Amino acid sequence: MDDITEFHWLMDMIQNIDVGLIILDREYRVQTWNGFMENHSGISADRAKSKEIFELFPEIDKKWLINKAESVFLLKNQAFTIWEQRPYVFRFKNYRPITGTANFMYQNTTIFPLESAQGEVQYISLLIYDVTDVASNRAALKAANANLKKLSRSDTLTGLYNRGYWEKLLRSEFRRAKRTRHPLSLIMLDIDYFKKINDTYGHQAGDDVIRSTSTIITQCKRETDIAGRYGGEEFCLILIDTTAKNAALFANRLRQTIEKKPVIYMSKKIHYTISLGIAEFNYKFSSHEDWLKASDKALYQSKEGGRNQISIYNHDT
């Protein structure tokens, strides 16, 4: 076999391989453009030749690609980019009507230096891999997992944490509070005369009241506070780094906000109020259940006292 034959074989392979192959010069002008690039871009090698790559593909994030490529020129190092960074460098449409899983081709890219005999890098080569199947499988799996996780944690009506997951968080906060010395408060709250709302306006209206309460809780609380729907018309909150005194300020604000914001149902205004019980963490508690009981006691006190009010659990009683 002579060298010329071998050279032709190599050229044929480069032309037909199912990977995009480009060679660029120092000014990002196309020197080599293989069949994969021709077929997916619709730009022939003749047309691409000597054109700046950014002129052929104005949608390429120029700054980003230059940043990667310059480090290859400078350091003579290979650089890899993955679809998680940018789904694609070249926007190629999905070409498989049946098995295509995305609207465009996800790509991984390798950029490597082509050294001259003197060891200088005047050209770089780009390899473009189609990784659409990997990417869409991974993305689908991730979305499904995230959804599953969220579903198992949240309450369907309000989107707050459900009781099971919230109690799990309470247990771990309880353990953490025992180790650290940070103050931590628990609030239990309940919608006043909820049964009456249901009986007067119907269950749909009751659901709206519950949803509205959870929305206001979410708006009032800080990012780090942990809110859950404990059951029925009962809600629960863990306030991080908060003493009972500060929790009381927050509780009153929440109470007043709800009092002032009636729910509109079938163009009727439903005014309602809430009662709250606060218990700060205390070393006397032997479990998170003790803590819950304490806040429940305070809540009961608010109900007994005439509702639409807050009470703080007294650790000395």
Partner 1 sequence: MDTNDLKLEEDYIDCFQEIANVAMGRAADLLARILEVFIILPIPNVNLLEASELKMALSAIDENEQVSAVCQGFIGGGLSGEALLIFNDTSFTDIAKLNKNKAIKEADESLELEILMDTSNILIGACLKGIAEQLDINFSQGHPTVLGRHVNISDLVKNNDQRWKKTLAIEINYTIENHNVNCDLLLLFTEDSLKMLKEKANYLLS
Report, as residue numbers or ranges, the catalytic residues: 233
Burial 66-75 (b: 16+ CB within 10 A, else e): eebbeebbee
Is the distance from CB of 263 to CB of 272 less than 8 angstroms?
A: yes
19 binds partner 1 (CB under 8 A): no
Q: Which of 67, 103, 122, 200 binds partner 1 (CB under 8 A)?
A: 67
DSSP annotation of 131: -
Phi, psi dihedral angles at 157 (to 5 degrees)? -75, -40
Q: For residues 255 and 277, give the distance between their C-alpha atoms in angstroms, rounded to a whole number.
A: 11
- Should residue 84 be labelled a site residue for partner 1 when binding is judged by CB under 8 A? yes
Nearer to partner 1, 60 or 254 (CB): 60
Site string for partner 1, 113-152 (x = CB under 8 A): ----------------x-----------------------
Tokens in use for 3? 């060298």
The H or E element containing residue 236 is: strand 234-240
Stretch that binds partner 1, among 68-76, 196-204, 235-243, 254-262 (CB under 8 A): 68-76
Label residue 56 exposed, middle or buried (CB < 10 Å: 0-12, 13-18, 19+).
Answer: middle
Size of the site for partner 1 (CB under 8 A): 17
Taking CB under 8 A as the rule, does residue 110 contact partner 1?
A: yes
- Tell me the closest approach of the beta carbon of residue 72 to partner 1, in angstroms: 9
CB of residue 28 vs partner 1: minimum separation in angstroms?
17
Q: Report the nearest approach of partner 1 to the CB of residue 71 (Å).
A: 7
Chosen residue from 24, 53, 69, 79 binding partner 1 by CB under 8 A: 79
State the virtual CA torsion across 119, 120, 122, 123 in degrees, nearest 10: 30
- Provide the token pair at 196: 């009456």
Q: Among the candidate windows 37-45, 66-74, 159-167, 227-235, which touches partner 1 by CB under 8 A?
A: 66-74
Nearer of residues 124 and 310 to partner 1, judged by Cβ: 124
The DSSP secondary-structure symbol of 86 reads -
| Shorter beta-carbon distance to partner 1: residue 73 or 300 | 73
Among 29, 40, 47, 68, binds partner 1 (CB under 8 A): 68
**Shorter beta-carbon distance to partner 1: residue 7 or 64:** 64
| 262-266: long-range pairs with CB below 8 Å, 24+ | 263/205, 263/208, 263/209, 263/212, 265/201, 265/204, 265/205, 265/208, 266/201, 266/205
- Interacting residue with partner 1 among 7, 9, 80, 95 (CB under 8 A): 80
Q: How far is the CB of 118 from partner 1 (least distance, A)?
A: 18
Query: What is the CB neighbour count within 10 angstroms for residue 140?
Result: 11
Chain contacts with partner 1 (rule: CB under 8 A): 63, 67-68, 71, 74-75, 77-82, 84-85, 108, 110, 129
